[in-house]
Structure 1
């Protein structure tokens, strides 16, 4: 491998001069620039990216921490950040947390060791105090899908409560009075906020709620199946369900079909997230859109701007959920 010292010897200049030319430093003379460029071409020299990062205390990468890259939700998040990175001639490095504090911590620390000056972090397991510690040290770190007190202006979130309120209200306006809720068994703020939106809507419309109308399980297809089985076992009068996410809604629909309960003629269901699966279920799923693509794009641009000191006073951005009406809901008479 050709070194910078060999380039300097070929060009007849110092190593420092080669470094200045390669980094487009204004103090480089035209004569030195031409000599170095000629030596670089003749020797086929390629600058070492890691060495450049160490010298500049930065790198051409954006770090992204997500829970699970196999989940379509996080795949969309990563793709959105990657598009922003490409626009700025950067690449991305990915860390995976799996809802585990130690793994989230390791993912962040690994990206920092790789000189990622910009980080978009989706963390659910680390405490607010630990995240505040990272935010205090890393000026280009942005938290997505969570709000950390004291750093609200570097957090990008969704109004989850509003989303499930809207879903429940939609079912009420369709005539449903016995509405269940399928929630996640993960102890995270998303679940806390979403069940609160469901309960708030019922209270607002003076509809009583039973503890047997609520079931929790893993936030995936299998969890949706298990939760729907539990709801049907306890209740014979349920006519609708609000699900924590689209995967759980898909599992619930599968159980309803197996029990010859027609969706939507006999039973309506609304999901959350508007993932691609929602458009291909039978029937196509009415759901709450989670604009994670827009949120991730905003978060990545914010992280870059913070590092470049282009944002003097960023503001907390909370995105709004919207209803996507398809065919899993119908008027109930």
Structure 2
């Protein structure tokens, strides 16, 4: 097994220079860094991670807590974070909280006990006060998809209210007036903001939101199916459905197919997130693009810049959603029979 002494000799530099390259603890000329890294590759030298941690007082690892580890939304987020850190020789440790306050705290404390250098948190249940107190420890925190007043400069968020507005506004432009809404859990700020944006668009068009056309789902495909069936039992008809995310929209599409309801001629459907399956369902789903990959990458860049003192592209905190028009929506006219009980 190659040693640091052999790397030093082959690269023609001192042991201290090799150490600085390995631990990234000081500025090294780019040409020198490349020479050391080339020698390491040629010799097959693998740095001792324990020694690196002792030398730099860093574990070279970052902890990430999200609600779930499965599904297209979180899969995209985690993949982008891992890719950004792997490119610079850092490691990522993931934990799932299942939107449970106790599990969120346990996951955070576990990752801290593993001496991660920073935390990326996509959490929903722990309080703002807990997060502010956490940030006062020696483990920097970056928050995704949530505004925490005490951590204003460490929050990377999406304008969810605008996204909700864009979905309803587009359907109104198509001539729809009786628009049903299947929401995510309203205790979640993003789900609540999306519905508020929906109501903004309706009121702008002179339409008061009808509680009979509202169903609170769970952001799961089954919640979309259950929501659609529940709405059909109401005493009011509707020609379009807005869903709080794409998974629930997929549930509505599946149930509509089972009932032989033509989409979009008899029912227009729009989702939120623009996850990878949204252009594979039939018909392809009109949705609101949630740039979660870019937001995950930005969280990684924040840590690389503030914790590891590495140069990154300019940081961005607020992201804007965009309407993605596909085949699940169309114009409403008087010949289109609304869904009725």
Q: TM-score, normalised by structure 2?
A: 0.82
1:173-208 deviation per Cα after TM superposition (whole angstroms, max 9, x unaligned): 000000011012362101110110111111111013
Structure 2 counterpart of 1:160: 160
Report the Cα offset of residue 85 of structure 1.
0.4
1:257-314 deviation per Cα after TM superposition (whole angstroms, max 9, x unaligned): 2223211001111100001121111111000000000001011110121113569xx9
2:62/2:90 contact within 8 Å kept: yes
Structure 1 counterpart of 2:245: 245
Structure 2 counterpart of 1:230: 230
SS at 2:108 equivalent: helix
1:156/1:318 contact within 8 Å kept: yes
Distance in structure 1 (CA, Å) of the matches to 2:122 and 2:319: 16
- Say if 1:138 and 1:147 are closer, same or farther in 2 by CA, change over 3 A: farther
Gaps of 5+ in 1: 9-18, 27-43
1:44-72 deviation per Cα after TM superposition (whole angstroms, max 9, x unaligned): 99764245324532112122111111121
SS at 2:119 equivalent: strand
Report how many aligned residue pairs link the two structures. 303
- CA radius of gyration, larger in: 1
2:284/2:327 contact within 8 Å kept: yes
Distance in structure 2 (CA, Å) of the matches to 1:201 and 1:138: 44
Structure 2 counterpart of 1:135: 135
Does 1:23 pair with 2:7? no
- Say if 1:45 and 1:329 are closer, same or farther in 2 by CA, change over 3 A: closer
Report the Cα offset of residue 138 of structure 1.
4.1
Gaps of 5+ in 2: 6-14, 27-43, 334-341
SS at 1:181 equivalent: strand
Structure 1 counterpart of 2:38: none
Distance in structure 2 (CA, Å) of the matches to 1:134 and 1:50: 26
Q: How does 1:105-120 map to 2 (within 5 A)?
A: 105-120=105-120
Structure 2 counterpart of 1:11: none
2:213/2:236 contact within 8 Å kept: no
Distance in structure 2 (CA, Å) of the matches to 1:45 and 1:310: 24
Please report the RMSD computed on the Cα atoms of aligned residues, expressed in angstroms.
2.7
Distance in structure 1 (CA, Å) of the matches to 2:45 and 2:301: 32
1:66-98 deviation per Cα after TM superposition (whole angstroms, max 9, x unaligned): 111112111101111111102211121111111
Distance in structure 2 (CA, Å) of the matches to 1:186 and 1:169: 21
- Say if 1:248 and 1:153 are closer, same or farther in 2 by CA, change over 3 A: same
Displaced runs of 4 or more, over 4 A: 19-22, 44-48
